[in-house]
Structure 1
Amino acid sequence: MADFSWTTQSPLKKALVPGRHGAAGATAGVTLTEMRDIVLMQVMARRGKAAETAKAAKKLFGVEPPVSPKAVSGKGATLVWSGPDQFTVFAPRSDEAAQLEAMTKAFAGSASLSDQCDGRCLIRVSGPRARDAIAKFSSLDLHDSVFPVGSSANTSVDHTAVNFWREANGADGTPVYSMLVFTSFADSLWHVILDSSLEYGVEASSARAA
């Protein structure tokens, strides 16, 4: 009988080629980054337990979960709206077992949890031309007055379901957008974003979430 060794690897192992792509220039117009070493937990309040779930989230993360399409940053995690009475917890991985155990205890009896750590891929798009690139494949209106920092949406990109939200602006003041996609579609989405960004110059890389 054959022995199998299961080794975790990025769904973008083949698609992600680090470095500069597309138009040359002093500064890349788009920065495309796969965020690795993350913890993802889908939290779904049980019937009649939404208030109790919100209370548990505030105790654990210091903020109440969003009740509309938004993303809020709390103690060591970002809570992203993913539907009525449900949200996704995104956090940099430190001690995954301890992090998941803390959430399991906090929401015991009030919410159902779904561990998404190995089922989703997080792609971050930033830079001065990020909005222009995203406009090629998304129908979302990303103008500051409509989609400010902290906004989120459940949308479709190239027939692929994506959880999309806007992070705090980068150090250079340019917008930062995060896209959470199922790992089986990550390769396809990466190529869509990359192809849409080439004319602006792209800097591609992976990074540990912080």
Structure 2
Amino acid sequence: MSEPVTALNNTSDATGIAAVSEIGPVGMITLRGDLNASYLRKAAAQIAGVDVPAPLGCNSSDNRGIAWMSPDELLVMCPYAEAGETVEKLEKAIGSNFATAANVSDGRAVFRVSGPLAREVMAKLSPVDLDPAIFKPGMFRRTRLAQVPAAFWMTDDETFQIFCFRSVAQYVFDVLKVAAQSGSAVGHFPLAEGQSANT
């Protein structure tokens, strides 16, 4: 069996005000159906190992998670090697109830932006209000980064995880790298106590 290859071969850059890296591959399954239905919520939570999040949220632990994508769509995340098996488990758990599950892992690229100034880097590219009092770890947004569709959430106070279509992976890495380039700190968001910006 051949080894999976990410869009950019896990490229990274840590020379700027935040570290930017492609991570992955990551297993991603689109699950569509009635998000209020107990059979769907139970199946997703049992398989992902986390609760189904509230709207605009993402619950994750290690390499598993569930992100709220829309009123009728969840994104279930798992180890890449388990994606096919996870789809089968979801379909079996859902049974004859209405829902669809599709493995979309190979169509996505996943990035991480980390460091005390990660929030500032992301704010340069997205129209989302990233004020620390408003956007907190566990919140999830489908939006745009510069000119392309993307989605992201914070796994902790200094780390964003981002995914986009694989076809625009190089563009997304490049704009993240430019937004994080050395000397580009704006100082818009105050650093938390104990944080230090290495600009």
Q: TM-score, normalised by structure 2?
A: 0.79
> Tell me, which stretches of 5 or more residues in structure 2 are unaligned?
185-199
Counterpart position of 1:112? 100
Taking the aligned partners of 1:66 and 1:40, their CA distance within structure 2 comes to: 16
Aligned amino acid, residue 21 of structure 1 = T
Q: Which has the higher contact order (CA 8 A, sep 6+)?
A: 1
Provide the secondary structure at the position in 2 that maps to 1:195: helix
Taking the aligned partners of 1:67 and 1:159, their CA distance within structure 2 comes to: 27
1:20: how far off?
4.3
1:36: how far off?
1.2
Counterpart position of 1:168? 156
Provide, for residues 10-30 of structure 1, a one-character-per-residue CA deviation record: whole Å limited to 9, x for no partner. 2124x93x45435xxxxxx31
1:11 aligns with 2:7: yes
Counterpart position of 1:102? 89
Preserved contact between residue 33 and residue 124 of structure 1 (Cα < 8 Å): yes
Provide the secondary structure at the position in 1 that maps to 2:76: strand
Counterpart position of 1:83? 70
Preserved contact between residue 28 and residue 80 of structure 2 (Cα < 8 Å): no
- RMSD between superposed Cα atoms in Å: 2.6
Aligned amino acid, residue 173 of structure 2 = W
1:59: how far off?
3.1
1:44 counterpart (32, 36, 39): 32
Preserved contact between residue 52 and residue 110 of structure 1 (Cα < 8 Å): no
Aligned amino acid, residue 45 of structure 2 = K
Provide, for residues 18-60 of structure 1, a one-character-per-residue CA deviation record: whole Å limited to 9, x for no partner. 45435xxxxxx311121113210010015x9733211222333
Counterpart position of 1:34? 22
1:177 aligns with 2:164: no
> Tell me, which stretches of 5 or more residues in structure 1 are unaligned?
1-5, 23-28, 170-174, 202-210
1:56 counterpart (43, 67, 77): 43
Aligned amino acid, residue 20 of structure 2 = L
Aligned amino acid, residue 78 of structure 2 = A
Taking the aligned partners of 1:33 and 1:19, their CA distance within structure 2 comes to: 6
Q: TM-score, normalised by structure 1?
A: 0.75
Q: Could you list the runs of 4 or more consecutive aligned residues of structure 1 that deviate by over 4 angstroms after TM superposition?
A: none
Counterpart position of 2:169? 186
Bigger shift: residues 189-198 or 33-42: 33-42
Aligned amino acid, residue 102 of structure 1 = K
Taking the aligned partners of 2:21 and 2:4, their CA distance within structure 1 comes to: 19
Provide the secondary structure at the position in 1 that maps to 2:136: coil
